[in-house]
Protein backbone atom coordinates (compact mmCIF):
# COMPACT_ATOMS: atom_id res chain seq x y z
CA UNK A 1 0.00 0.00 0.00
CA UNK A 2 0.91 3.67 -0.18
CA UNK A 3 3.49 4.62 2.42
CA UNK A 4 4.77 7.91 3.75
CA UNK A 5 8.25 7.56 5.18
CA UNK A 6 9.01 10.09 7.91
CA UNK A 7 12.49 10.84 9.29
CA UNK A 8 13.89 11.18 11.79
CA UNK A 9 11.72 9.19 14.17
CA UNK A 10 13.13 11.11 17.09
CA UNK A 11 15.52 14.00 17.59
CA UNK A 12 16.96 15.90 20.52
CA UNK A 13 18.31 19.37 19.87
CA UNK A 14 19.53 22.36 21.80
CA UNK A 15 17.50 25.52 22.16
CA UNK A 16 18.10 27.91 19.32
CA UNK A 17 19.00 25.31 16.74
CA UNK A 18 16.91 24.22 13.77
CA UNK A 19 15.56 20.79 13.01
CA UNK A 20 14.35 19.45 9.68
CA UNK A 21 11.76 16.70 9.42
CA UNK A 22 11.24 14.92 6.10
CA UNK A 23 8.27 13.06 4.74
CA UNK A 24 8.58 11.09 1.55
CA UNK A 25 5.82 9.34 -0.34
CA UNK A 26 7.36 6.07 -1.41
CA UNK A 27 5.05 4.68 -4.06
CA UNK A 28 2.68 7.47 -4.92
CA UNK A 29 2.76 11.15 -5.66
CA UNK A 30 1.74 13.40 -2.81
CA UNK A 31 0.61 16.71 -4.19
CA UNK A 32 -0.61 17.62 -0.73
CA UNK A 33 0.92 16.95 2.67
CA UNK A 34 -0.64 17.77 6.01
CA UNK A 35 1.56 18.50 9.00
CA UNK A 36 0.22 17.83 12.48
CA UNK A 37 1.50 18.39 15.98
CA UNK A 38 0.44 16.17 18.84
CA UNK A 39 1.08 16.88 22.51
CA UNK A 40 1.01 14.03 25.04
CA UNK A 41 -2.42 12.52 25.54
CA UNK A 42 -3.95 14.93 23.05
CA UNK A 43 -5.34 14.65 19.56
CA UNK A 44 -3.65 15.66 16.34
CA UNK A 45 -3.72 19.36 15.63
CA UNK A 46 -3.28 20.49 12.06
CA UNK A 47 -0.43 22.96 11.70
CA UNK A 48 -0.23 23.51 7.98
CA UNK A 49 -0.99 22.12 4.57
CA UNK A 50 1.73 21.99 1.97
CA UNK A 51 1.08 21.77 -1.73
CA UNK A 52 3.71 20.84 -4.27
CA UNK A 53 5.09 23.88 -6.02
CA UNK A 54 3.25 26.49 -3.98
CA UNK A 55 3.33 28.13 -0.57
CA UNK A 56 2.05 26.25 2.42
CA UNK A 57 -1.17 27.22 4.13
CA UNK A 58 -0.81 27.66 7.88
CA UNK A 59 -3.51 27.24 10.48
CA UNK A 60 -4.36 30.13 12.73
CA UNK A 61 -1.81 30.60 15.49
CA UNK A 62 0.98 28.70 13.73
CA UNK A 63 4.03 30.87 13.01
CA UNK A 64 5.03 30.43 9.40
CA UNK A 65 8.49 31.86 10.03
CA UNK A 66 9.12 29.34 12.76
CA UNK A 67 7.74 26.28 11.03
CA UNK A 68 9.11 26.40 7.51
CA UNK A 69 7.49 24.02 5.08
CA UNK A 70 8.87 23.09 1.71
CA UNK A 71 7.14 20.86 -0.81
CA UNK A 72 9.44 21.08 -3.78
CA UNK A 73 8.62 17.74 -5.34
CA UNK A 74 5.73 15.33 -5.60
CA UNK A 75 7.42 12.90 -3.25
CA UNK A 76 9.02 15.09 -0.60
CA UNK A 77 7.73 17.58 1.93
CA UNK A 78 9.84 18.97 4.75
CA UNK A 79 9.08 20.80 7.98
CA UNK A 80 11.87 22.81 9.55
CA UNK A 81 11.48 23.98 13.12
CA UNK A 82 13.67 27.08 13.31
CA UNK A 83 15.25 28.43 16.48
CA UNK A 84 13.63 25.66 18.46
CA UNK A 85 12.60 26.20 22.07
CA UNK A 86 11.53 23.69 24.72
CA UNK A 87 7.88 24.53 24.13
CA UNK A 88 8.30 23.23 20.56
CA UNK A 89 8.92 19.77 21.96
CA UNK A 90 6.15 17.61 20.58
CA UNK A 91 5.28 14.74 18.27
CA UNK A 92 5.10 15.88 14.65
CA UNK A 93 3.25 13.78 12.08
CA UNK A 94 2.77 14.20 8.34
CA UNK A 95 -0.10 12.81 6.33
CA UNK A 96 -0.96 12.62 2.67
CA UNK A 97 -4.35 12.07 1.09
CA UNK A 98 -4.11 9.37 -1.49
CA UNK A 99 -4.96 10.16 -5.07
CA UNK A 100 -8.27 8.44 -4.76
CA UNK A 101 -9.82 9.39 -1.46
CA UNK A 102 -11.47 6.02 -1.29
CA UNK A 103 -8.03 4.83 -0.34
CA UNK A 104 -8.00 7.21 2.62
CA UNK A 105 -5.10 9.10 4.06
CA UNK A 106 -1.73 7.67 4.98
CA UNK A 107 0.34 8.91 7.90
CA UNK A 108 4.04 9.01 8.56
CA UNK A 109 5.32 7.27 11.66
CA UNK A 110 5.91 10.58 13.43
CA UNK A 111 8.91 12.47 14.79
CA UNK A 112 9.42 12.98 18.49
CA UNK A 113 11.18 16.33 18.93
CA UNK A 114 12.74 17.18 22.27
CA UNK A 115 14.33 20.58 22.68
CA UNK A 116 16.67 20.93 25.65
CA UNK B 1 -14.36 25.54 12.78
CA UNK B 2 -15.62 22.01 12.68
CA UNK B 3 -15.21 19.95 15.83
CA UNK B 4 -15.64 16.32 16.67
CA UNK B 5 -16.65 15.13 20.11
CA UNK B 6 -15.32 11.66 20.77
CA UNK B 7 -16.33 9.53 23.72
CA UNK B 8 -15.41 7.96 25.94
CA UNK B 9 -12.03 9.54 26.53
CA UNK B 10 -10.70 6.33 28.01
CA UNK B 11 -11.80 2.78 28.68
CA UNK B 12 -10.32 0.05 30.83
CA UNK B 13 -11.84 -3.29 29.98
CA UNK B 14 -11.30 -6.99 30.49
CA UNK B 15 -9.93 -9.08 27.65
CA UNK B 16 -12.78 -10.62 25.68
CA UNK B 17 -15.21 -7.77 26.27
CA UNK B 18 -16.74 -5.75 23.47
CA UNK B 19 -15.91 -2.06 23.09
CA UNK B 20 -17.91 0.79 21.67
CA UNK B 21 -16.86 4.36 21.03
CA UNK B 22 -18.45 7.16 19.07
CA UNK B 23 -17.98 10.58 17.57
CA UNK B 24 -20.48 13.32 17.06
CA UNK B 25 -20.32 16.59 15.23
CA UNK B 26 -22.41 19.70 15.05
CA UNK B 27 -21.89 19.81 11.31
CA UNK B 28 -22.17 17.32 8.48
CA UNK B 29 -19.23 15.22 7.37
CA UNK B 30 -18.93 13.49 4.01
CA UNK B 31 -16.32 11.01 5.16
CA UNK B 32 -15.67 9.32 8.48
CA UNK B 33 -12.41 7.57 9.22
CA UNK B 34 -11.30 5.58 12.23
CA UNK B 35 -7.62 5.34 13.13
CA UNK B 36 -5.59 3.57 15.79
CA UNK B 37 -2.40 5.07 17.14
CA UNK B 38 0.18 3.11 19.10
CA UNK B 39 2.62 5.01 21.36
CA UNK B 40 5.30 6.81 19.37
CA UNK B 41 3.73 5.91 16.05
CA UNK B 42 1.59 7.63 13.48
CA UNK B 43 -2.12 6.77 13.16
CA UNK B 44 -3.03 3.74 11.11
CA UNK B 45 -6.32 3.62 9.22
CA UNK B 46 -8.77 1.02 10.48
CA UNK B 47 -11.99 1.74 8.63
CA UNK B 48 -13.16 4.35 6.14
CA UNK B 49 -16.83 5.27 5.64
CA UNK B 50 -18.12 7.29 2.70
CA UNK B 51 -21.91 6.96 2.65
CA UNK B 52 -24.54 7.84 5.22
CA UNK B 53 -25.82 4.67 6.84
CA UNK B 54 -22.82 2.65 5.68
CA UNK B 55 -21.83 -0.19 8.00
CA UNK B 56 -18.37 -1.60 7.43
CA UNK B 57 -16.41 -4.34 9.14
CA UNK B 58 -12.72 -5.07 9.30
CA UNK B 59 -12.17 -8.27 11.25
CA UNK B 60 -13.38 -7.69 14.80
CA UNK B 61 -13.98 -4.01 14.07
CA UNK B 62 -17.26 -2.58 12.87
CA UNK B 63 -17.98 1.06 12.15
CA UNK B 64 -21.04 2.91 10.95
CA UNK B 65 -21.59 6.26 9.25
CA UNK B 66 -24.62 7.82 10.92
CA UNK B 67 -27.69 8.58 8.87
CA UNK B 68 -27.57 12.24 9.85
CA UNK B 69 -23.90 12.40 8.72
CA UNK B 70 -23.09 13.94 12.07
CA UNK B 71 -21.98 10.86 13.92
CA UNK B 72 -20.14 7.57 13.67
CA UNK B 73 -19.37 4.69 15.98
CA UNK B 74 -16.69 2.05 16.17
CA UNK B 75 -17.20 -1.30 17.83
CA UNK B 76 -14.49 -3.80 18.71
CA UNK B 77 -15.66 -7.28 19.53
CA UNK B 78 -13.88 -9.77 21.79
CA UNK B 79 -11.05 -7.41 22.70
CA UNK B 80 -7.50 -8.71 22.98
CA UNK B 81 -4.43 -7.15 24.62
CA UNK B 82 -3.04 -5.87 21.31
CA UNK B 83 -6.14 -3.69 20.92
CA UNK B 84 -4.55 -1.36 23.44
CA UNK B 85 -3.92 2.07 21.99
CA UNK B 86 -5.61 5.35 21.17
CA UNK B 87 -8.45 5.35 18.70
CA UNK B 88 -9.28 8.49 16.77
CA UNK B 89 -12.23 9.32 14.61
CA UNK B 90 -11.66 11.79 11.81
CA UNK B 91 -14.06 13.50 9.47
CA UNK B 92 -13.87 15.35 6.22
CA UNK B 93 -16.58 17.95 5.78
CA UNK B 94 -18.04 19.84 2.90
CA UNK B 95 -15.83 22.58 1.62
CA UNK B 96 -12.92 21.27 3.65
CA UNK B 97 -11.00 20.06 0.65
CA UNK B 98 -8.89 17.14 1.77
CA UNK B 99 -8.49 18.38 5.32
CA UNK B 100 -9.43 16.09 8.18
CA UNK B 101 -10.80 17.06 11.58
CA UNK B 102 -9.85 14.71 14.41
CA UNK B 103 -11.74 13.71 17.50
CA UNK B 104 -10.03 13.89 20.87
CA UNK B 105 -9.27 10.18 20.94
CA UNK B 106 -10.31 7.20 23.05
CA UNK B 107 -7.57 5.55 25.07
CA UNK B 108 -8.26 1.83 25.31
CA UNK B 109 -6.65 -0.33 27.96
CA UNK B 110 -7.25 -4.08 28.01
CA UNK B 111 -6.63 -6.21 31.08
CA UNK B 112 -5.53 -9.75 30.23
What's the pLDDT tens digit per position in B9-44?
A: 999 999 999 999 999 998 899 889 999 999 889 999
Instruction: Determine whether the interchain pair B44/A32 forms a contact, defined as Cβ–Cβ distance below 8 Å.
Output: no
Contact A108 B42 (CB under 8 A): yes
Is the minimum CB–CB distance between A49 and chain B shorter than 8 Å? yes
Q: Does A41 touch chain B (CB under 8 A)?
A: yes
CB pairs under 8 A between A and B: 53
pLDDT recorded at residue A49: 92
Instruction: List the pLDDT tens digit at each of the 116 positions of chain A.
Output: 678 999 999 999 999 999 999 999 998 888 889 999 999 888 999 999 998 888 899 999 999 999 999 998 999 999 999 999 999 999 999 999 876 555 578 899 999 999 99
Identify the three-state secondary structure at position B82: helix
Distance CA B80, CA A23 (A): 32
Residue B88 has a pLDDT of: 95
Q: Give the pLDDT confidence score for residue B93 in this predicted structure.
A: 76
**B14 in contact with A at a CB cutoff of 8 Å?**
no
A105 vs B40, B41, B100: nearest CB = B100
Which chain A residue shows the shortest CA-CA distance from B49? A102
Give the SS3 label for residue B12: strand
Q: Which residue of A has its CA nearest to B100?
A: A46
Per-residue pLDDT tens for B83-99? 999 999 999 876 656 67
B88 lies within 8 A of chain A by CB: yes
pLDDT at residue A29, as a whole number? 86
pLDDT of residue B99: 79
Q: Let me know if B55 is exposed, middle or buried by CB neighbors in 10 A (0-12, 13-18, 19+).
A: exposed
Beta strand ranges found along chain A (DSSP E)? 4-7, 10-13, 19-25, 32-38, 45-51, 57-58, 67-73, 76-81, 90-97, 105-107, 111-115
CB contact under 8 A, A43 and B102: yes
**Is A93 close to B88, i.e. CB distance below 8 A?**
no
Q: Collapse the DSSP code of A67 into the 3-class scheme (helix H, G, I; strand E, B; otherwise coil) and give the result.
A: strand
Amino acid sequence: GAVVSQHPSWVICKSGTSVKIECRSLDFQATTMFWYRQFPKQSLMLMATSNEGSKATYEQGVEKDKFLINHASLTLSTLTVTSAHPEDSSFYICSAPLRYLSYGYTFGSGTRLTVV
Amino acid sequence: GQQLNQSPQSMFIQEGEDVSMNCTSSSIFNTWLWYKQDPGEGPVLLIALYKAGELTSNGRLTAQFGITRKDSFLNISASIPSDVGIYFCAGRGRGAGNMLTFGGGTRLMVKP
